[in-house]
Structure 1
Amino acid sequence: MEVTGVHHAYGRRQVLRGVDLRLQPGTLVGIVGENGAGKTTLLRILCGELRPDAGLIRHHGRFGYCPQQAVLNDAFTVRQHLELFRTAYGIPDLTRAQEVMETLGFTEYADERTGVLSGGTRQKLNLTLALMHNPQTLLLDEPYQGFDWETYLRFWDLAQRLRSAGTAILVVSHLAHDSDRLDQVLGLSAGTLQERTGAAT
């Protein structure tokens, strides 16, 4: 994914002031910043949900997007969500989804309605929906909120395996405590991205 000169404003408030980013295959990149810095706005632009005022975004291949707030129908079961997204993605079966569910440890909830699931389990489904079509680029907005410690570790194990398989992963968070797990850490401040130290080598 290549991002060049992205600007965005809400009225007179400039949120993004020329964001440049190049996300290479097989890399795990983090963007950190204070609440209100524009991290979610940037992700919404990168996934095509929001149009930038200026700038260019190029995607090479399939991408998956896991928003901070899961967009789920509380009346549907987990399995019904998977079937709906399988049809939307045009994929033949749920093999990949089942693999992700096993990794995150929630296969037993397949026939539960999402309205009765805990916040952490809803987030597991949210992440599965973003991954089930095997994207080459993965955009994650606060992906592990609500996870217990075991699931948190499972998430990072999954992220490392995806990176090893060549997936480009962008993780957005307001915290920088996972920097040692990342190849590159970028700070979003005053509308631009700046490299930070502390990433894995």
Structure 2
Amino acid sequence: MKVREVHHAYRRSPVLRGVDFDLRPGAVVGIVGENGAGKSTLLRILSGELRPTRGSVRHHGRFGYCPQHTVLNDAFTVRQHLEFFRTAFGLADLRHAEEAMDVLGFTEYADVRAGVLSGGTRQKLNLTLALMHDPRVLLLDEPYQGFDWDTYQRFWALAARLRDAGRSVLVVSHLAYDAERLDELWHLKDGQLRLAVGAA
């Protein structure tokens, strides 16, 4: 993914002021910033949900997007969500979804309705739905919200597996958790990205 000179403003209030960065294959990258810094706006632009005022975003291959707030139907079971998205993505099977569920540790919830799942388990399903079509680029907004310590460790194990498979993972958060697990860490401040930690 290549992001060049991305600007965005709401009415006359600028939020992004020339964001530039590359998300290379086989990298786990973090973007951190305070609440209101424009992180969710940037993610919506990267996912194609929002058009920037100016600038460009280019990426190759499939991408997955896991928003901060889960978009689930409380009346559907986990399995029904997977089948619905399998049809939408035109997938032959649920292999990648089942692998993600196994790594995240919630396969036993397959027949449980989303409406009775805990917040952390809903987030696991949200993440699985973003991964089930094997995207080359994965965009994650506060992905470990509601996770307990075991699931948090499982999340990073999953991110490492994706990196080893040559996938690009972008994690956006208001705190720089486990910066040593990242190949690059960027700070979003005053509408611009600044590299804090980078791999050579």
TM-score, normalised relative to structure 2: 0.98
TM-score, normalised relative to structure 1: 0.97
Q: What is the distance in 1 between the residues matched to 2:192 and 2:53?
A: 15
Q: What is the distance in 1 between the residues matched to 2:89 and 2:20?
A: 29
> How big is the shift at 1:28?
0.8
SS in 1 for 2:73: coil
Structure 1 unaligned blocks of 5 or more: none
Equivalences, count: 200
The amino acid of 1:111's aligned partner reads D
Is 2:33 aligned against 1:33? Answer: yes
Structure 2 counterparts to residues 56-71 of structure 1, below 5 A: 56-71=56-71
> How big is the shift at 1:200?
6.3
Structure 2 unaligned blocks of 5 or more: none
Q: What is the distance in 2 between the residues matched to 1:169 and 1:177?
A: 15
Q: Matched residues, percent identical?
A: 71
> How big is the shift at 1:33?
0.4
Paired position in structure 2 for 1:98:
98
Q: What is the distance in 2 between the residues matched to 1:200 and 1:66?
A: 25
SS in 1 for 2:146: coil
What is the root-mean-square deviation in Å for CA atoms of aligned residues?
1.0
SS in 2 for 1:36: coil
Task: Provide Cα deviations, 1:143-169, integer angstroms capped at 9, x if missing partner.
Answer: 001000000000000100110110011
> How big is the shift at 1:177?
2.6
The amino acid of 2:164's aligned partner reads S
Paired position in structure 2 for 1:184:
184
**Runs of 4+ deviating beyond 2 Å:** none
SS in 2 for 1:55: strand
Contact residue 138 and residue 170 of structure 1 kept, 8 A: yes
The amino acid of 2:110's aligned partner reads A
Paired position in structure 2 for 1:48:
48
Task: Provide Cα deviations, 1:9-48, integer angstroms capped at 9, x if missing partner.
Answer: 1111100011111111001110000000000100001001
